Chain A
C-alpha cells in the first residue's frame, strides 16, 4: 500500500462544474495535509493546507479532511480551463516535518 494514494486520472470536468479530487493516506499520526497545483513543466504551487477535521474554504477551493477515514479531498467550484493541471496531495510523515507525496491527479477542464 502506498503511503499517499491518488487516482492518476485524467479527470475530465466541464467548465463551470465542480471538480472533486481525492487522496487517502496511511499514517494515522499525520497532522498536516496539503494540496499543490502543478502546471506542466512548472514547479508545484501550494493552494490549500488543512490541519483539523472538517472543511476549509478559500475562494473557489474547499479542502475536506476526515482523519478517522484517513481521507482528504479538494473541491474546485466553478471550474475554469486555467484549473487544468496536476494536483498533488502531500501529508506530513507522523510528527516529522517531512512530507510524503501522492503521484498526483491530472485534471482537465473542458470549455
Chain B
C-alpha cells in the first residue's frame, strides 16, 4: 500500500534535548512538507522540499532543521532552540503538478517538559 509513515506516534522529551521525527513516503512524490499544528489552530509550514538535497524554510522554521538525502525520506529535527516545541507534527507529500494535492502521514505528537 502506498502511503506516508511517521514515527513515533507519541514522543516525550525533556527540555534542552534535540529530537528527530521520522517521515517516509512510498508514493513517489517529489515534494515533502513538515507542518506544526497547535490546539484549535490551522497548519503552519515549517520546511518543505521539492528535490533531494534541497529544502526551503517555511513560515516558522526557527528552531527546526531538516534533511532530504533520499526522495522517500524527510526527517525533522526539533532543536533545543525551539521555544515551544510541544505540538502535533504532520508530514505531507505531493506531486509538483498543478493539482498540488497534499497527503498526510498520521502525525507525531511531541510533548516537551
Contacts and interface: CB of A to CB of B under 8 A. Distances in A.
Interface of A: 4, 8, 31-32, 34, 42-46, 49, 51, 88, 90, 92, 97-99, 101-104
A67 to B, nearest CB: 15
6 contacts: A44-B43, A45-B104, A46-B103, A51-B98, A51-B99, A101-B42
Contact of B101 (A4, A46, A88, A104): A46
Secondary structure type dominating chain A contacts: loop
Contacts, number: 49
Contact of B106 (A43, A49, A92, A97): A43
B98 A32 contact: yes
B90 interface: yes
Interface of B: 31, 40-45, 48, 50, 58, 90, 94, 96, 98-107
B50 A101 contact: no
Contact of B104 (A31, A44, A103): A44
A80 B50 CA distance: 38
Closest 10 A/B residue pairs (Cβ) = A103-B42, A101-B42, A43-B104, A101-B43, A43-B107, A32-B100, A97-B100, A92-B100, A44-B104, A43-B106
